[in-house]
Structure 1
Amino acid sequence: MQAAQTDQTDQDIKDAVYRDLQDKTRLSSWSTVEQLVLACRMLAAEGHWANGLAGQITARGERPGTCYTLKFGIGADEAVPQSFILTDDDLQPLDGVSLPNPATRFHLWVYRANPSVRCIVHTHPAAVSALSMIDQPLQVACMDATPFYENCGHLREWPGLPIGNEEGRLISEALAGRKALLLAHHGLLTAGETVAEAATLAIWMEQAAAVQLRAAAAGTIQPVPGHLARESRDFLLKPQITDLTFQYFARRVLRADPTCLAA
């Protein structure tokens, strides 16, 4: 059968896709705390908290100068709304009694330096941790890695136990307005304008690192040409795409535990 003739250019088709994304999709309506619960559960299911309590997720609170974080000692796979507390901008709990993870302090530095960031994920998943051990940056060599094109820094020296201010200063400087960071001898950081973006980027980053390690074992990695990587990045980072991806992983979480958002 002969293909239908059209006067549409590729740019016309792309513009129509972008309009459809804007007009025909709906962003998730969960509250910030509910999104954090779902993010914890989906990241745990993807192996981001396999080593226990190492890792954090935070989000800006509704009141300026506050942020939500897990109570210290709560695992991501068991998070429920009551697991989250509000702290001030010095990591002091507003309820006066709860204990936040002291390693969350560096998040405060990132928030201060990046007003558009609303959520931060820091985890130690296996593939990213492996890259962090061999001084290898994340490479953009397949479509699924393109969200990180010119968008993932590499902090090549680890300053040590992350409970003081020095790591906060180094990480906020190394992030430099990007959305992701590979931390030497440590793990990953993603900084999103929404919880959905930060969580989705963390999942994508670990997946990209895992594929990179497998590809490097098989042959020479060939990077995606810059102009194509940039176009793909800008599409995949549209809020509708990251939010729809988050909704997909959230549905998996809710199928596994339909009660996880219960108050």
Structure 2
Amino acid sequence: MTISTQSAAGGPPPELDLDEAPTYASAPIEEQRLHRKRQLAAAFRIFARYGYDEGVAGHITARDPELTDHFWVNPYSVHFSRIKVSDLLLIDAQGRIAHGTRRTNKAAFWIHSSIHEARPDVVAVAHAHTIHGRAWAALDRPLDPIVQESCAFWRDHVLFDEYRGLVLERDEGERIAARLGSARAAILRHHGLLTVGRTVEEAAWWFIAMNRACEMQLLAEAAGTPRIMTDEEAEVAHRQFGSANMARNNFQLLSSLIFEEEPDVLD
């Protein structure tokens, strides 16, 4: 099957309304696909700017809007700062490359395919080996609600308290997916962070926000004993800062800079 990466008219797709149609269900499939791929490529450039790259580690995936058991992912051993739309690979349910010519990442497949299969509501999954995310993952604890932004994950993230090295087998990917359940994020002990979303924008922003939450709690605890918010306070902050709409808008502020300053990302 030929996968189109252009709009039906041959040019860029029309601007899509993130507020009213976060799943882009009303747009033609070709435009949905191109939009997801552009946001995915931009997410890698953003992660590179934040220093989330770590050699060949790290991956973000986006479910294909038509072939829903397939997902788009970065190729193996291409730096986040160089990812373009044309570099992205389409992977099928068996881990085979359905579109693209570069190598894929086995760990990316086992983790992401398991989550995409278990969570039909999830369009995108983000995972990278960040400094603060890994430092927090070494503490074997969930995050506390100590600042309003951290509350995006209040009662909405889990701790995956296993470690068996690189995720190279289906069963470990399935265990991660099972532990994630319906949550938006997971702390993988001795490994790092993982976030999901109904859009690429959400998954990528939640990753950025969660890594910052780890950094803030590490700093606060290094300085003293942070005050834990009450359930009432945390609930209010979760409702406000855990808004998917806020996540999408926050991500768009970053992606718009990428599209303006690094237009080759769209190649």
Corresponding residue of 2:86:
82
User: Is 1:58 aligned with 2:58?
Assistant: no
Deviations, residues 1-26 of structure 1 (Å, cap 9, x unaligned): xxxxxxxxxxxxxxxxxxxx968xxx
Structure 2 distance, partners of 1:78, 1:96, is 16
Secondary structure in structure 2 of the residue aligned to 1:190: strand
Q: 2:258 aligns with which of 253, 257, 261?
A: 253
Matches within 5 A, 1:113-152: 113-152=118-157
SS where residue 154 of structure 1 aligns?
strand
Superposed CA deviations along residues 124-175 of structure 1, whole A, max 9, x for unmatched, are 1101100112223222210010110001101122122112113212211110
In the TM superposition, what are the counterparts of 1:171-210 in structure 2 within 5 Å? 171-210=176-215
The 2-side partners of 1:115 and 1:106 are apart by 15
Contact 2:153 2:242 in 1 (8 A): no
Return the offset for 1:228: 2.2
Distance in structure 2 (CA, Å) of the matches to 1:113 and 1:213? 32
* TM-score, with structure 1 as normaliser: 0.85
Structure 2 unaligned segments of length 5 or more: list them. Answer: 1-17, 25-31
Q: 8 Å contact 2:122–2:197 — kept in the other structure?
A: yes
Q: 1:220 to 1:202 in 2, by over 3 A?
A: same
Aligned mates of 2:19, 2:71 — CA distance in 1: 29
User: Which of the residues 75, 92, 98 maps onto 1:94?
Assistant: 98
Match of 2:168 among 157, 163, 167: 163
- Tell me, in whole angstroms, the C-alpha distance in 2 between the residues paired with 1:248 and 1:101: 29
Q: Secondary structure at the match of 2:263?
A: coil
2:90–2:100: 8 Å Cα contact kept in structure 1? no
Check whether the contact 1:120–1:189 (CA below 8 A) recurs between aligned residues.
Answer: yes
Contact map agreement 1:122 1:188 (CA 8 A) in 2 = yes
% of aligned pairs identical? 28
Counterpart in the other structure of 1:8: none
The structure with more radius of gyration? 1
Q: Deviations over 1:57-112 (max 9, x none)?
A: 10101212111011111121111011101111121101485421111121111111
Identify the range of structure 1 (60-69 vs 228-237) with the bigger mean alpha-carbon deviation. 228-237
Q: What's the secondary structure of 1:241's corresponding residue?
A: helix
Compared CA separation, residues 184 and 253, structure 1 to 2 (3 A): same
Query: Per-residue deviation at 1:235?
Result: 2.4
Counterpart check, 1:223 vs 2:209: no
1:159/1:166 contact within 8 Å kept: no
Is the 8 Å Cα contact of residues 151 and 242 (structure 2) preserved in structure 1?
A: no
SS in structure 2 of the partner of residue 121 of structure 1:
strand
State the TM-score, normalizing by the size of structure 2: 0.83
Equivalent of 1:107, from 112, 119, 125?
Answer: 112
CA RMSD of aligned residues (A): 2.1
The answer to whether the aligner puts 1:67 opposite 2:71 as a matched pair is yes
